Homo-oligomer: A and B are copies of this chain.
Amino acid sequence: MAILVVGSMAYDTIETPRERRVRQLGGAATYFALAAGREAGVRVVAVVGEDFLPADLELLASHGVDLEGVERAAGRSFHWSGRYRADFNERDTLATELGVFAGFRPRVPAGWTASEYLFLANIHPSLQAEVLAAVARPRLVVLDTMNLWIETRRADLLAVLPRVDVLLVNDSEARQLSGELGLAAAAAAIKRLGPARVVIKKGEHGALLFGRTSVLAVPGLLLPAVVDPTGAGDSFAGGFLASLAAAAADRDSDDAPFRAAMLAGTVTASFVPEDFSVGGLLRRTPGEVAIRLARLTDMMVP
């Protein structure tokens, strides 16, 4: 059961109220792959520039990530620069340098066209559609997107959504895509666009699963200190999809494995804000994962 992800591998320059970090390893595919973990067998389709450090590729490879679909192109790697506000609930983009990502056309290696699980991370919806078309018959397709595409590439996004099983967005994106203020109404409207299930991420407030027949609200784990939340959403997706793949769930499964996957995603994402870049994810241990899952469950069961 392999998981194929298409998305960015990038360097991020991050300013927090306490510190500034220049060109640290980031990108949706990077966070997703490390979050999903070695057992998940993640295959990455992405592009990096000439400046992408061999050590960063080796880091991913050493964690069992298959990089055959990562193209190295002439030019610079995608670079995102952002600043977090005091409470970490909002951030401002200072610069987005697409670099080699500007001309990116994803190529799915021949041996990967039978990948069972597909995570279309937040990139141009037409590229998401190309990757989707290249994979023969995935068991489950999960798509993330953002306000930029909802605003500027709405038709392309609407064209791909009917082939998506789970849409993964944050609350403001769900409202923007649906035109609905209430999240239940927003999820219902999004389901009419294609996805049978909708996950709405709410940052520190947790996440909501609007399943086929049920709704689940998972709270955020209460973190002792936030250093840098960049990548938490993509890491949620990694934990979510790894859990679904481990359960051999597909689009026709009932809601149970998806409800369990919400907890896995939440626990996985909780490691990210503890450090810059992927530091929190890399320090994760099975014992600490089990402790946090028990803590989360205890926070949820009345």
Binding site for B on A (CB under 8 A): 86-88, 175, 181-185, 202, 205-206, 208, 214-219, 222-226, 259-260, 262-263, 297-302
Of the residues B202, B223, B224, contact of A205 by C-beta under 8 Å? B202
Q: How far is the CB of A275 from chain B (nearest CB, A)?
A: 16
Cβ-defined contact, A298 with B215, below 8 A: yes
Cβ-defined contact, B300 with A301, below 8 A: yes
Q: Which 8 A-B pairs have the closest CB atoms?
A: A217-B219, A184-B222, A205-B205, A217-B299, A215-B299, A300-B300, A263-B302, A259-B302
With a CB–CB cut-off of 8 A, which chain B residues contact A262?
A: 302
Q: List 18 other contacts, CB 8 Å, given A184-B222, A206-B217.
A: A86-B181, A87-B175, A181-B226, A182-B224, A182-B225, A184-B223, A185-B224, A202-B205, A205-B205, A208-B219, A215-B222, A215-B299, A216-B300, A260-B302, A262-B302, A297-B302, A300-B301, A300-B302
CA distance A215 to B221 in the complex (A): 10
Q: How far is the CB of A188 from chain B (nearest CB, A)?
A: 10
Cβ-defined contact, A301 with B299, below 8 A: no
With a CB–CB cut-off of 8 A, which chain B residues contact A223?
A: 182, 184
CA distance A262 to B302 in the complex (A): 9
Q: How far is the CB of A293 from chain B (nearest CB, A)?
A: 9
With a CB–CB cut-off of 8 A, which chain B residues contact A87?
A: 175, 181
27 A-B interface contacts by CB (under 8 A): A87-B181, A88-B181, A182-B222, A182-B223, A182-B225, A183-B222, A184-B223, A184-B224, A202-B205, A205-B205, A205-B206, A206-B219, A208-B219, A208-B222, A214-B298, A215-B298, A215-B299, A216-B299, A216-B300, A217-B299, A218-B302, A219-B219, A259-B302, A263-B302, A300-B300, A300-B301, A301-B302
